[in-house]
A and B are shown apart, each in its own frame.
Chain A
Amino acid sequence: MNLAIRDIRHHWGRFVLTCLGLSLLLGVVISMIGIYRGLVADALVLVRAPAVDLWVVEGGTKGPFAEASRIPRDTRNAVARIDGIASAGMVTYQSMQIETAKGVARVLVVGFEPGRPGGPAVLAAGRTLERSHFEMVADIKTGLELGQLIRLGNDDYRVVGLTRGQVDSGGNPLIYLSLQDAQALQFELEGAAARNQAARGERANTNQVNAVLATIHADADLDSVARSVSRWKHLSALTQADQEAMLLSAVVDKARKQIGMFTVTLLTVSTVIIALIVHTMTLDKAREIATLKLIGAPDRTILALIIQQALAMGVISFSLGATLITLAADRFPRRVIVEAPDIAMLAAAVGVVCVIASLAGVRHALSIDPAQALGG
């Protein structure tokens, strides 16, 4: 006869309510890990989107995401001539706000040369840029639709293609413009400011880009090609793997630590709460435990009663929390990725937490004197 299940069945309303409360707390723990996974995925989307092998950036920098990078436009032709390079293209990156039907949206504008590396490798709908001006490819997250016209700066742009899930490390969706349009947006000034610039005899410097992206031939050695580029002291060549590692360490590392500490704090809070609940449940059963001891129940029966209840509470609450977060993941403003290995690891952690949390209850139960069952 399983006493833990009988007790839960008898107090099912209280038990279910307790599990519901606990499931929300454990759901937050799961979502924390999901948010971190989403953060990593979002950060990598940006560097994986163009599907290139080599990133050529300003020498001595970790550009263009971890640090600022500016290199001359003619770098693209120089890189393209290196043995082993299949193709090369210039790119620029800039953040801006756009007006959409849903309101103001913050986006990362990627300027690239149509037909060269730097544009979106995969489209969800439509086509990539075919003209040098006034076309854009936008991520679905912007809320823009195919064929829609949108005002950027002084010009209207038509959405010709859509991507899915392409965001920067801040979760802002990407939009792709031609390099010329992106640079025009970057340096174009409003009326009075433009006249002032003209009066000073100054011109916007569109002779620089943030990086040159390159693909290599299948039989070329990536490290060797990178070394060839790096011989120019004013340039650095980062492989795709370098760029991903750098982005993760520079952009995501603090967030990872922050979320990690928050997760540990929440697990600690969960432990304390489960311990309090189990201890209260044990106090409520003091007379029954004394009676069980008096009629001959060994300690293992009493321990099983308490630990099994704590584990049942943990398992049910965790399952509810995991289901809730899995179902609600798409409703979070930022990407939340709930992965099976994380769920399994956290489930094991919750199991340990439940056992640790039940120790206070176990200690109290073992100290109950069977004589308490006698008398009023």
Chain B
Amino acid sequence: MSAPIVSLRGVSKHYGDGPTRVDAVRDLDLDIHAGTVAGLLGPSGSGKSTVLNLIGAIVDPSKGQISLDGEMVFDGGWLRPDLRRLRLEKIGFIFQFHNLIPFLNVAENIQVVLDLAGWPRPKAQRRVAELLDYLQVADRAHAMPAQLSGGQAQRVAIARALANNPRIILADEPTAALDSERAGRVMDLLRQVAVEQGAAVIVVTHDDKVMARFDVRHALADGRLVGA
């Protein structure tokens, strides 16, 4: 088997100290490989969102090592000072409520990522058109987010997450606001991305509708892995 794209070794995260200390994640070892759709499951407070934040380089681990796409990025401290650049290059985010920028139209919501990554304008425009086609929202390219249905908005959010060809896709409850049919389509799409682009897709959810669609499920309780 190839090297994992996401690798966590002995990662812990606690908030506060002394009597107010909360251990959100404890000694977590986790590997997720390319082409895999992995589910992070668990009840509220189990630590799954913290794991997502750790992989997304949003919060610092208290200890441990994190390697993303073959690059050691945390080993007692962030090894790269430019964490936003790290996210831009390696990670695509999909949110429960899409988080499309309301003042940008559909095409601009995707293009903003490419502008930040420094893509030349013609190349970026070709990439936007390609993604809109791929996610079947090309006819809504100039629509504003408020004019989209829930399913369309989620597909645009996925297009934005894929724009810069990230190897890691982090999805936070991406189907929670969708009915079973639309949730199924989103999961199909994420699987397609994982397979076609060789990405690792990590989905945080406790949505029963999509439990059967993961290649691997990691269950968390009290900040520890309790099953896979």
Residues of A within 8 A of B89 (CB): 296
In contact, A375 and B172 (Cβ under 8 angstroms): yes
Across the interface, name the chain A residue whose C-beta is closest to B170.
A374
A7 CA / B108 CA spacing, docked (Å): 12
How near does chain A come to B111, taking the closest CB pair, in angstroms?
Answer: 6
Residue of B nearest to A10 (CB): B103
Q: Which of A292-350 contact B (CB under 8 A)?
A: 292-298, 301
9-residue interface stretch from B3-11, B92-100, B210-218: B92-100
Instruction: Check if A294 sits within 8 Å of B103, measured CB to CB.
Output: no
Quick check: B95 and A374 within 8 Å, CB to CB? Answer: yes
CB distance from B52 to the nearest CB of A (A): 7
Which listed residue, B96, B103, B108, B160, touches A375 by the CB 8 Å rule? Answer: B96
Q: Is the CB of A287 within 8 A of B99?
A: yes
A371 touches B53 (CB 8 A): yes
Q: Give the shortest distance, in Å, between B129 (CB) and chain A (any CB).
A: 16
> What 0/1 readout, one digit per residue, does chain A (252-286) give for beta carbons within 8 Å of chain B?
00000000000000000000000000000000000
For chain A, residues 1 to 22, give those with C-beta under 8 angstroms from any C-beta of chain B: 1, 3, 6-7, 9-11
Q: Are B103 and A293 in contact (CB under 8 A)?
A: no
Q: Which of B88-119 contact A (CB under 8 A)?
A: 88-89, 93, 95-97, 99, 101-104, 108, 111-113, 115-117
Is B88's CB under 8 angstroms from A296's CB?
yes
* Shortest CB distance A266–B (Å): 32
Q: Tell me the complex Cα distance, A297–B173, Å.
A: 23
The answer, yes or no, to whether B80 is at the interface (CB within 8 Å) is no
Query: Quick check: B115 and A288 within 8 Å, CB to CB?
Result: no
Residue contact A295 to B93, C-beta cutoff 8 Å = yes
Taking a contact as CB atoms under 8 Å apart, the answer to whether B97 and A376 are in contact is: yes
Is B87 among interface residues, defined by CB-CB distance under 8 A? yes
Query: Measured between alpha carbons, how far is A155 from B160 in the docked complex, in Å?
Result: 89
Q: Which residues of A sit under 8 angstroms from B111, Cβ to Cβ?
A: 1
Q: Is the CB of B102 within 8 A of A294?
A: no
Instruction: Give Cα distance in the complex from A297 to B85, angstroms.
Output: 8
B39 CB within 8 Å of chain A? no
| Contact digits for B65-98, partner A, Cβ 8 Å, 1 yes 0 no | 0000000000000000000110111000101110
Residue B56 at the chain A interface, CB threshold 8 Å: yes
The number of chain B residues touching the other chain, given as a range, is 20 to 34
Bits for B30-52, please: 1 = Cβ < 8 Å to A, else 0. 00000000000000000001001
Q: How many residues of A contact B (CB 8 A)?
A: 25
Check B116–A301 contact: CB distance below 8 A.
yes
Contact B84 A296 (CB under 8 A): yes
A10→B84 contact, CB < 8 A: no
> Which A residue's beta carbon lies closest to that of B88?
A296
Within 8 A of A (CB), among B131-148: 144
Contact among A11, A295, A373 with B103 in the assembled complex (CB-CB below 8 Å): A11
Q: Which residues of A lie under 8 Å from residue B173 when comparing CB positions?
A: 375
Q: Is the CB of B116 within 8 A of A296?
A: yes
CB atoms of B58 and A371 under 8 A apart: yes
Q: Are A10 and B144 in contact (CB under 8 A)?
A: yes
CB contacts (< 8 Å) of A373 on chain B: these are 93, 95, 99
Q: How far is the CA of A10 from the CA of B101 in the complex (A)?
A: 11
A286 to chain B, nearest CB (A): 12
Closest residue of A by beta carbon distance from B108: A1
Q: When the two chains form their complex, are residues A296 and B113 in contact, meaning their CB atoms are under 8 A apart?
A: yes
B87 contact set on A, CB distance < 8 A: 294-296
Task: Decide yes or no whether A165 CB sits under 8 A from chain B.
Answer: no
A294 to B49, CA, bound (A): 15
11 A-B pairs (CB sep. < 8 Å): A1-B115, A3-B101, A3-B104, A6-B108, A288-B99, A291-B99, A293-B84, A294-B58, A297-B84, A297-B116, A370-B84
10 additional contacts (CB under 8 A) given A296-B113, A371-B59? A1-B112, A3-B103, A3-B112, A287-B99, A288-B101, A294-B93, A296-B87, A371-B58, A373-B95, A375-B173
Q: Which 10 A-B pairs have the closest CB atoms?
A: A296-B88, A10-B103, A7-B103, A291-B99, A296-B84, A6-B103, A296-B87, A371-B58, A1-B115, A374-B172
